[in-house]
Structure 1
């Protein structure tokens, strides 16, 4: 391993995916570089904390640098495009997959060198590895000594980059660490034929970064001659020596062969490794400088992949020739596709998401708290109101099973448990909770505003739970003196439609008719935080602190009351509970003022 060890910034921030990392890496070489002859800057900055980012992959460009037969324009256009789109695509890294040139000649590397300087001047981090056309192919592995490739793309070229971590002593293998989506990622750029010593080096690099997900780039690994991708003979060696037993490697990228292809194999840990082959040198104009863009989206747990030719895209439509028109972008299923990856689950063995510590109830009793119920203990007949206002809940059985204690909880929930309510209808079954007949909460009208919050996971049991109630207030519109709409509707109900859409339907104090906020369809079997906020004038529904669309602009103030109890885990019609709630409830808080999302329980 080259030089000494130095410390990378391991700071992390809770986003979609959270992982710590005080990552120790092998580097030790100066990142200071010479001043570029011509100043070129990137169009904007990348956001290293945003859950969506892009890695660009450039395969075999050898026909563009083939003695006097090539043309540097396509690759130049590609690199200029990447620089221009850096901020828009949140492009964090560019990886070349080898076979930069055709004949490994010094004059060919002299042609390629200024093209890559487009990236150098923009301070765009990138890697380059040696393909078989970049070196003397008669040498069996990377212990081949000096070469024109090494003089152009050896460690000296990358030392100026903040992402560069180090190289093997022979200079033909290197690694980079870049930051994206709030964490560090490691990329290995391995030679066309790594020696056993270089494989050992790669394993040591991974071991020195035990919490980082790894992308492996190398020139040969997968081929797809028959239309079905599989490992080549050398690819099997790479798999056995490096990939199989290193669970951190989740994605490999290689060129060399064509056509493109992809497959998925399970490693020794039983996890998927996605192995992708990209090569376009057999296509029009030596591949036209095509680039494959890997759009990582940790919010959607997906990598969206597209393949485009910026050089052709930049041509005026009327001036493109017939062959160019067919190469603007590739849309077949091996060049434009999506890879679903549950990043948290896939990286759990080496970088588990830190569980947010539980927070005691007393920390969440803020000014104005009218009631605060937590379901983080054994199921009993009484649930304590932690607000200190005395609005305790008692259990009511309908039919069948009663709620049961569960260790499941929303990741941002203060209490680390919940109750599973096994409710249903026809007949009404399960159970619910209600305040006492004389509870102070029953009389409150909240004219100055209110916030009602709950952590919820709807049941995914295949049953019909249409119009189930999560939280409601006994008493009808008629009971509260309201005559508009259907006066048998409850004065307050937070529940879900037949399509699992959130519905906040109430009789406000200042209106004779019902007032309804609607949400979108919620996914059963998935935890979410729900909040209804009224500032004394308007009501707004939030899911996971995100404001929803269908919030009325009509003014409404307060909540009508007939002085009757509140229910948790049920709704009613004409004061009759027709079903119990089906799903998990983590905790519920009612505050007699409007809260900002930064004050919610999940903040």
Structure 2
């Protein structure tokens, strides 16, 4: 009843990395189960490098029914050993936070099978934290978690996990447990429930949820749903009981994973809070070599608001491609819609009901002015005269103070015959912006209109050359919908003509010597005429999103310039030398760019905190920390 497997057109980088996994059976450093303390989840593993608890991207590994690999005298642990070696060796690369086994570790639950399985788990023990729960083949299938002592409990009970930093505790019977992970700079709860949780077990689980009521929760159990060949999952009898007793009333459970049945499948259910709960079946025991220790990786991306899911067999991937059997090659990776897919989840919105995001407080100016700050402007009450009600016009002549104390104050000027409403005060801001305020510019063409903020003629910034380097940062947001023609509108610039500075290489001698602009495709263009070289090295970004704040940083180390967008270095940075900025004593401007010393349209959108430093900063020192 399994889904057919179609080889994908190419390997993801994660799968490419997997070919480096040591061959099954290779020697591995092992730790005694339940006796040695595990390495901290944020520390280096024995082989796998360092797991980054702060990165917004991490992975959860899911391992379903391995029972046919531990089946009496036909047992073969090598595929699972390869899977564990993969998780250890790739932990840092894939930022693997945790692995959860979904039950049916063994076929009969005998002492010999359990002992062999427990010994195999030593490959991962102390290197990647994990949970295990009992399936109906690991214990007497007709019993619940009050069954008492078993070989499974002795090998995979609380004693085994007590040294793990993620382990939170177990139910009194020992068959249900939970782990608390730190990943993406927050805590997550993994709840591992027995094949048949009793009323006592469910009461214990509810107590865990109550104690950790603000933690997003992944529920794992052996039997929760089944699916037909169409991949649509349906709650099983036990799954319905779990749904009614535990899942639907606890909004923090957003993902529920089970094995037991095949083929795999998935569905989305709506809980009592009106939110989605993703229910998935993961099981490959019906496939070649009993599934060969096949795993799923749930790759959480908190920036893109998505979980990318992929399913593959490290044991097959670790083999020389020339020596793979046809069935091994066929089962390298599963690419059907129930095995390789993406779940779009707005995490902040989904978790709002039980763990609302507390926005950062505004940061005072003195905390965001590193050594070498020559100018810093913000548009809250500390930085802008008369800042007040959102939507209120900012009149001509209004001053935005240079909070660095260097005398580079800006004054508002309306372009052409623009009305006062062309520039308004706003409380809108990037979540990580130091000041919780911005200016809303309503510039445009036909007729040209807009507003700019300029330094006074005697401002020190006007003639600074920045030969030792610079970092220019700003926050902007483009409106959604992005209406009208705003091609080549300016964000910031210095006034003047590069031709008057003797520059000969540019598109036009009428361009200013330094400007940051938006192209018709909404790409950023940073044009620089250096003080030392006769050149015009230009950086080009990707297309900017609309309706979302963007942080921009332009960094020059005295040799060349690099643009960063949202803390990430862009691709199209010039290799041309660039030393300094050919300023000519002309004003610095926010909100527009001259051509032939005249302004056309002004900027269209929001501009927030803007800072200039006279040296190259590393991304970690940006106002919005980056790479």
**TM-score normalised by the shorter chain: which range applies?**
0.7 to 0.9
Give how far 1:58 is off.
1.5
Query: After superposition, where does 1:215-226 map in structure 2 within 5 Å?
Result: 215-226=218-229
Task: State the partner residue of 2:267.
Answer: 263
Contact 1:472 1:566 in 2 (8 A): yes
1:138–1:469 Cα change, 3 Å:
same
1:578–1:266 Cα change, 3 Å:
farther
Task: State the partner residue of 2:400.
Answer: 384
Task: State the partner residue of 2:301.
Answer: 297
1:446–1:192 Cα change, 3 Å:
closer
Coordinate RMSD, CA, aligned: 3.0
Q: Which of 449, 456, 468 is 1:429 aligned to?
A: 449
Q: Which of 595, 600, 616 is 1:573 aligned to?
A: 595
Contact 1:244 1:268 in 2 (8 A): yes
Q: Distance in 2 between matches of 1:448 and 1:156?
A: 60
Provide Cα deviations, 1:438-464, integer angstroms capped at 9, x if missing partner.
555444444554432211112332333
Q: Distance in 1 between matches of 2:266 and 2:358?
A: 33
Provide Cα deviations, 1:299-346, integer angstroms capped at 9, x if missing partner.
443322222223333444455443333222211111122223333333
Q: Distance in 2 between matches of 1:242 and 1:263?
A: 18
- Note if 1:589 corresponds to 2:611: yes
Contact 1:418 1:587 in 2 (8 A): yes
- Note if 1:471 corresponds to 2:492: yes
Q: Distance in 2 between matches of 1:168 and 1:296?
A: 29
Task: State the partner residue of 1:277.
Answer: 281
Give how far 1:596 is off.
4.6
- Note if 1:61 corresponds to 2:82: no
1:545–1:322 Cα change, 3 Å:
closer
Provide Cα deviations, 1:187-237, integer angstroms capped at 9, x if missing partner.
111011212221121111122123322111001112112521122232122
TM-score of the superposition, structure 1-length normalised? 0.85
Q: Distance in 2 between matches of 1:149 and 1:368?
A: 63
1:151–1:451 Cα change, 3 Å:
closer
1:596–1:290 Cα change, 3 Å:
closer
Query: After superposition, where does 1:43-442 map in structure 2 within 5 Å?
Result: 43-49=47-53, 50-120=55-125, 122-139=126-143, 141-227=144-230, 228-364=232-368, 369-376=373-380, 377-378=387-388, 379-381=393-395, 382-386=398-402, 387-388=404-405, 389=407, 391-398=409-416, 399=418, 401-437=421-457, 439-442=459-462
Provide Cα deviations, 1:356-385, integer angstroms capped at 9, x if missing partner.
331233554566544432222334321322
Q: Distance in 1 between matches of 2:201 and 2:607?
A: 53
1:127–1:426 Cα change, 3 Å:
same
Q: Distance in 1 between matches of 2:410 and 2:361?
A: 26
Provide Cα deviations, 1:2-56, integer angstroms capped at 9, x if missing partner.
xxxxxxxxxxxxxxxxxxxxxxxxxxxxx994469xxxx8413332323333322
Give how far 1:258 is off.
0.8
Contact 1:42 1:86 in 2 (8 A): no
Contact 2:88 2:127 in 1 (8 A): no
Give how far 1:515 is off.
4.2
Task: Report the secondary structure of 1:475's partner residue.
Answer: coil
Task: State the partner residue of 2:551.
Answer: 529
**More off after superposition, 191-200 vs 513-522:** 513-522
Task: State how many pairs are aligned.
Answer: 567
Q: Distance in 2 between matches of 1:288 and 1:95?
A: 17
Give how far 1:95 is off.
1.3
Contact 2:533 2:577 in 1 (8 A): no
Q: Distance in 1 between matches of 2:530 and 2:46?
A: 54
Provide Cα deviations, 1:253-287, integer angstroms capped at 9, x if missing partner.
10011100112223223332221111112222222
Q: Give ranges in structure 2 of 5+ residues lacking alignment.
A: 1-31, 38-44, 381-386
Contact 2:68 2:285 in 1 (8 A): yes
- Note if 1:456 corresponds to 2:476: yes
1:106–1:442 Cα change, 3 Å:
closer
Q: Which of 492, 505, 509 is 2:527 aligned to?
A: 505
1:34–1:558 Cα change, 3 Å:
closer
1:45–1:182 Cα change, 3 Å:
farther
Q: Distance in 2 between matches of 1:455 and 1:542?
A: 12
TM-score of the superposition, structure 2-length normalised? 0.82
Contact 1:371 1:385 in 2 (8 A): no
Contact 1:373 1:383 in 2 (8 A): no
Task: State the partner residue of 1:494.
Answer: 516
Contact 1:216 1:249 in 2 (8 A): yes
**More off after superposition, 426-435 vs 227-236:** 426-435
Q: Distance in 2 between matches of 1:562 and 1:75?
A: 68
Task: Report the secondary structure of 1:57's partner residue.
Answer: strand
**More off after superposition, 440-449 vs 304-313:** 440-449
Q: Distance in 2 between matches of 1:361 and 1:501?
A: 30
Q: Distance in 1 between matches of 2:112 and 2:503?
A: 88
Q: Distance in 1 between matches of 2:623 and 2:93?
A: 34
1:432–1:157 Cα change, 3 Å:
same
**More off after superposition, 271-280 vs 505-514:** 505-514
1:598–1:319 Cα change, 3 Å:
closer
